[in-house]
Amino acid sequence: MGLTECRQKGIGILLHYETVKIIDIKNKKVGALYRFIQLIIISYVIGYVIVYKKGYQEFDVAISTVTTKLKGTTYVDFGKFNSTLFNGIRIYDPSDYVIPPQETDAVFVMTNMILTPKQSQSNCPEDSKFKDIHCKKDSDCPKMVPVKNGNGVRTGKCVSSDRNSSMTVCEIYGWCPTEVDQLPMPNNNFSDTVPLLDGTKYSTMLVKNQISFPKFRAIRNNIIQFNDSTYLKRCHYNSDTDPLCPIFNLEDIVSSCGDNYTDVAYQGAIYGIIIEWDCNLDHSIDECLPKYQFKRLDDVNSPISPGYNFRYADYYVEEDTRYRVLTKAYGIKFELLVHGKAGKFNVIPLLTNLGAGMALLGIATVWCDFIVMYLLKKRNVYREHKYQRVDDDSQDPKGNVQVDDDENELESDRPEAERLIKP
């Protein structure tokens, strides 16, 4: 194939135009399928996209702020605990069991604890639960080497364990005495099923949430104005009777997730308070109301460190010696999750969705063409009438455009009976 011939063929491939040829096919089955597909597409566009998904609106996502306030008092009977700081009955209010006092979009309520009072930096035997500190002689305890995951650094001495007199362990320098990481705390009459601060189940939480939609310059909060001015002072949230009350009982939150507060509070957990805002600003802003949902977020069956806990320390000085009370706090963390969306009519998304729907109508033509050209018995006849090539460069002496008769004939050259294709 010569260069000129290749060039002409390449130009012929690039510089050509295809147009749709309309063929009226009198086939009731194909016609019914064509209208059925069109009906499905129109129903989808109007019913689902435009009406259900509000395709006639533009949307904005909420910017949210959340604050909380807890109320409720409980107590712990420490009995004859080995510390003058924790002895007898001690009252706990939100200043004691809400840690830290303020947290971004969350609140932690301590429900159980392990206390290690009056720790000071000194020498003491390491906790015998660490296997790499078991020793028989001083050389087994290299000096100033930290204990992996332990409580201090080795002093170089091998001493008797203060937890098990038949065992010798490495002595450490650190905060002493070391923590006894065990629930309930040993040597006390504490329950192994009921948390120390089980009374927090009766505490209440006020949730204040304000959202704004900058695109629409709309602001809304979950403190609804009621006709009864005393309603907010006495209401408690209930999904059936008081769905708009922003005051929640902690036990109700846990039980709504199918859990028992006492069981969960023993080792702690994490729950989500989900606030949903779905606002239609084509209506009054007063109809934009929150919906509350509750969900447990932590893994109930976690194989390691189940529940939720952390440690913190309170420091004080006595006779020029610095001491601390180490607390391992178990409790329930409430995460406040806000999802907000608002919509308002706008002609641009409406026209965009309608245009997309009109384009989808082409699917009906594609499917019916496929059936006609490849599945029906007379597919060869239909294909012959569907495709026709006109070569503009081939003209007769009078200047008439020539049609490739090897593939198709012009519709005007066919008998009238053949121009109306019937099955």
On the CB side of 353, how many CA atoms lie within 13 Å of its CA? 22
Q: Residue 17: what residue type?
A: Y
CATH of the domain at 222: 2.60.490.10
- Would you state the structure tokens that stand for residue 369, as one six-digit string? 């063409």
Q: Is 7 annotated to bind ligand?
A: no
- Separation CA 149–CA 130 (nearest Å): 8
Determine contact, residues 324/313, Cβ cutoff 8 Å: yes
Do both 255 and 380 map to the same domain?
A: no
- Would you state the structure tokens that stand for residue 83, as one six-digit string? 């510390």
Closest CA to 346 of 215, 208, 187: 215
Q: Is 310 annotated to bind ligand?
A: yes
Judge whether 389 lies within some domain: no
Contact partners, residue 175, CB within 8 Å, separation at least 6: 119, 120, 121, 151, 152, 324, 326
Judge whether 204 lies within some domain: yes
Q: What is the pLDDT of residue 370?
A: 83
Q: What is the pLDDT of residue 403?
A: 52
Query: What's the domain range around 49?
Result: 23-56+346-384
Closest CA to 247 of 260, 232, 259: 232
Do both 280 and 338 map to the same domain?
A: yes
Judge whether 95 lies within some domain: yes
Do both 182 and 328 map to the same domain?
A: yes
Please, which residues bridge with residue 345 across strands? 57
Q: Is 221 annotated to bind ligand?
A: no
Contact partners, residue 159, CB within 8 Å, separation at least 6: 125, 168, 169, 170, 171
Q: Which of 316, 344, 372 is the last residue of a domain?
A: 344
137-166 as b/e, with b when 16 or more CB fall inside 10 Å? ebebbeeeeebeebbbbbbbbbbebbbeee
Q: What is the pLDDT of residue 117?
A: 93
Q: Which of 344, 370, 405 is the last residue of a domain?
A: 344
Q: What is the pLDDT of residue 85?
A: 82
Do both 69 and 100 map to the same domain?
A: yes
Q: Please give the biggest Cα pair distance in the chain.
A: 123
Q: What is the pLDDT of residue 402?
A: 52
Q: Is 333 annotated to bind ligand?
A: no
Do both 248 and 316 map to the same domain?
A: yes
Determine contact, residues 252/317, Cβ cutoff 8 Å: no
The total domain count for the chain is: 2
Judge whether 119 lies within some domain: yes
Q: Is 386 annotated to bind ligand?
A: no
Q: Is 232 annotated to bind ligand?
A: no
- Over the chain (423 residues), the average pLDDT of each successive run of 10 is 73 70 78 89 93 94 95 92 84 95 94 95 94 94 94 96 92 95 86 94 96 95 84 91 95 96 96 96 93 96 91 94 96 97 95 92 85 79 71 57 47 44 46
Do both 252 and 319 map to the same domain?
A: yes
pTM of the model: 0.79
Closest CA to 153 of 129, 178, 118, 136: 178
Do both 207 and 310 map to the same domain?
A: yes
Do both 76 and 43 map to the same domain?
A: no
Do both 249 and 323 map to the same domain?
A: yes
Judge whether 163 lies within some domain: no
- Would you state the structure tokens that stand for residue 326, as one six-digit string? 């180490």
Do both 199 and 292 map to the same domain?
A: yes
**Three-class DSSP labels, the chain:** CCHHHHHHHHHHHHCCCCCCCCCCECCHHHHHHHHHHHHHHHHHHHHHHHHHCCCCEEEEECEEEEEEEEECCEEEECCCCCCCCCCCEEEECHHHHECCCCCCCEEEEEEEEEEEEEEEEEEEECCCCCHHHECCCHHHCCCCCECCCCCEEEEEEEEECCCCCCCEEEEEEEEECCCCCCCCCCCCCCCCCCCCCHHHHHCEEEEEEEEEECCCCEEEECCCCCCCCCHHHHCCCECCCECCCCEEEHHHHHHCCCCCHHHHHHHCEEEEEEEEEEEECCCCHHHCCEEEEEEECCCCCCCCCCCCEEEEEEEEEECCEEEEEEEEEEEEEEEEEEEEEEEEECHHHHHHHHHHHHHHCHHHHHHHHHHHHHCCCCHHHHHHHHCCCEEEEEECCCCCEEECCCCCCCHHHCCHHHHCECC
On the CB side of 157, how many CA atoms lie within 13 Å of its CA? 11
Q: Is 204 annotated to bind ligand?
A: yes
Q: What is the pLDDT of residue 230?
A: 85
Judge whether 369 lies within some domain: yes
| Strand 269-280 versus strand 321-345 pairing type | parallel
Judge whether 275 lies within some domain: yes
CATH of the domain at 48: 1.10.287.940
Q: Is 311 annotated to bind ligand?
A: yes
Do both 90 and 199 map to the same domain?
A: yes
Do both 50 and 199 map to the same domain?
A: no
Q: What is the pLDDT of residue 392?
A: 61
Q: Which of 344, 376, 392 is the last residue of a domain?
A: 344
Judge whether 416 lies within some domain: no
Q: Residue 390: what residue type?
A: V
